[in-house]
Structure 1
Amino acid sequence: MNKRIYFGLYGLIVILLVLPFVVPNNFYLDLAVRMAINAIIVIGLNLLIGFAGQISLGHAGFLGIGAYASAVLPMHFGWHPVTAMLTGALASALLAALVAKPIFKLKGHYLAMATLGLGIIINIALRNEAQWTGGPDGMPVLPMALFGFEIGSDRQWYWVVAALLVLTVWGSLNLIDSPFGRALRALHGSEVASQVVGVNVARYKVSIFVLSAFSASIMGSISAHYIGFISPNFADFFHSIELVTMVVIGGMASVYGSIVGAVLLTALPQALATFEGWETVAFGAILMLCMIFMPRGLVPTLAARFSKGDDK
């Protein structure tokens, strides 16, 4: 990684270390936890959309699988929360592997509709299996316990998700600079050209989809344990669109853009709390304006402008 990338990672670590000591109350600490959770999810989704160029409009379905695995397995079968979380993540990865090859033969609108259909199927299954999932009403989630220690307070969860965010950013930056990451960027640019130079396009598409689904499922489990209650809204269409919006607003093919997009759009509903029902309108308006004035997203656009300024 170059010096600028390291500087960004070190800056993130400093912010995460200082943040819990400067926020005025637990409300803002809770908001910071949710921002970090969304940032990790969006980084994985950006690897799929921004770097590999493969759209997914049903990604919240994998969050739902992870969340319900962490709720159902400990509640009904007595599984340890960590075992349940890993089982949900493996189930999500397996499902992604099974559907990825036929889905990613499609392109454009057809690919978007196929991923949307996958998310809808998962959401319907979670709603209909009321005996296990509580149906539309949802169900409680048992606390997360590690080595006999129960993670309960907002501050404890903050340090957990902050550590996961740093590891995710570090791992993603290294992945992007690896031969695997260069192959992803190549197939985003041109699948035909990638095949000509020997890139196995199908394998890389499946691999990044599986990785993104696995990451989303893990964070679905983390989010479920943190909140303590889940409903099928975890896996609905609007949540998927919200995640894609975070990718686009922050910046396609930008790890730090994913963080910025997650922070902005997690905070936005709180800022619009007095205008109940207008959050979706705001998401749509911001996305539209971003696509018009900053089609590359906030972070890549600002980075390009500052780079031009440095060259003068």
Structure 2
Amino acid sequence: MKISSTQVGGSAATPVPLSARMSSPFTRYNGLAILALILAVLPLALPNSFYYDVVIRIAINAIVVIGLNLLMGYTGQISLGHAGFLGIGAYASAVLTSHFSWSPLAAMVAGAAATGILAFVVARPILKLKGHTLAMATLGLGIIISIVLTNEAQYTGGPDGISVSAFELLGWTIAGERTWYAVVAVLLVLSTWAALNLIDSPGGRALQAIHGSEVASRVVGVDTTRFKVRIFVLSAVVASLAGSLSAHYVGFVTPGIAGFFHSIELVTMVVTGGMSSVFGSIVGAALLTLLPQVLSTFEGWETVVYGVILMLTMIFMPKGLVPTLRQRFGNRGR
């Protein structure tokens, strides 16, 4: 039996063989090399710390969105509460370093472990759901996390938030925009490389087969539950680690990092850049992280604009920006 994966874009989407969605190693690493080159030369074009700050935030968001795209775009499992995992990582770093004097690295690892355990526990019951019921379940999970972070004020600072110490490792403190840029740029390249290799691995092909048809996947021996749980946990842990990085970089964290609106931002980044596209995740994160800066004079309208972008994308570019351009210019690379 030949398994095919379905392109995102509605119920009338055309099935595409898995082999057609796989890039050659040359094409894959060519795109990775271009990304690394752009990140290497970009500091030459950044005139001041404000631009460094924007690019660092883009890179952190891109890391989260890559993990979320593995869950949504490649496996077909929606998550409307993913910012909750981001919040767990951020608050783990903040609370454990501030109240319990843990080292930043230990706090980050503990936050990622706690997130992974929580994701594993809830994954099996949640991922049995389909469609809008799955969306509502993940939304509820995110809201619960946000409420807990807000109400446990004795540790989290409540709605006012909590300060976070600088990230120190073996006596070395990550400080300054240039240092942070170098760290997140390296992590973004590594995240992209890992995602591309995962997608083209047997496990990655199983995830794409699940997206195409769970029934067909089970018929040929794919343990769909196990693969869905694994990718859910992986995407949650990636979000937690990025949340810790963001908390240490900004130096302050509030419950908004785990809020519903932030989850919608992440989903919009995935859809706009391109589901089932690793490089689309980066493009979507860049566009929608820059957008609030462009709209800074129109305070309060960001939510409306995000909604309009998502609506127009689904109407005119249902596959997302990068897959649409790739199809138009006949490039099969991711």
TM-score range, shorter chain: over 0.9
> Which of 191, 197, 204 is residue 168 of structure 1 equivalent to?
191
Aligned equivalent of 1:218:
241
Cα deviation 1:242-277 (Å, max 9, x = unaligned): 000000000000000000000000000001111111
Aligned equivalent of 1:26:
49
Cα deviation 1:24-48 (Å, max 9, x = unaligned): 1111111000000000000000000
Aligned equivalent of 2:77:
54
In structure 1, distance between residues paired with 2:68 and 2:145: 18
Q: Give the alignment of 1:89-168 within 5 angstroms.
A: 89-168=112-191
Aligned equivalent of 1:228:
251
Deviation >4 Å, runs of 4+: none
> Which of 83, 94, 97 is residue 74 of structure 1 equivalent to?
97
* Equivalent residue pairs, number: 309
In structure 1, distance between residues paired with 2:30 and 2:243: 29
> Which of 58, 63, 70 is residue 86 of structure 2 equivalent to?
63
In structure 2, distance between residues paired with 1:114 and 1:221: 25
After superposition, the CA RMSD in angstroms is 1.0
Deviation at 1:154, TM superposition (A): 0.9
Match for 2:184: what amino acid? V
Question: Counterpart of 2:330 in 1: which secondary structure?
Answer: helix
Deviation at 1:3, TM superposition (A): 2.1
Q: Does residue 6 in structure 1 map to residue 29 in structure 2?
A: yes
Question: Counterpart of 1:307 in 2: which secondary structure?
Answer: coil
Match for 1:95: what amino acid? L
Cα deviation 1:85-130 (Å, max 9, x = unaligned): 0000000000000000000110000000000000000000000000
Aligned equivalent of 2:4:
none
In structure 1, distance between residues paired with 2:257 and 2:138: 16
In structure 2, distance between residues paired with 1:294 and 1:51: 18
Q: Which structure carries more helix by proportion?
A: 1
Moved more, 64-73 or 274-283: 274-283
In structure 1, distance between residues paired with 2:191 and 2:230: 17
| TM-score with structure 2 setting the length | 0.91
In structure 1, distance between residues paired with 2:242 and 2:284: 17
Deviation at 1:5, TM superposition (A): 1.6
Aligned equivalent of 1:281:
304
* Structure 2, gaps ≥5 residues long: 1-23
Match for 2:319: what amino acid? R
Match for 1:26: what amino acid? S
In structure 1, distance between residues paired with 2:309 and 2:195: 27
* Structure 1, gaps ≥5 residues long: none
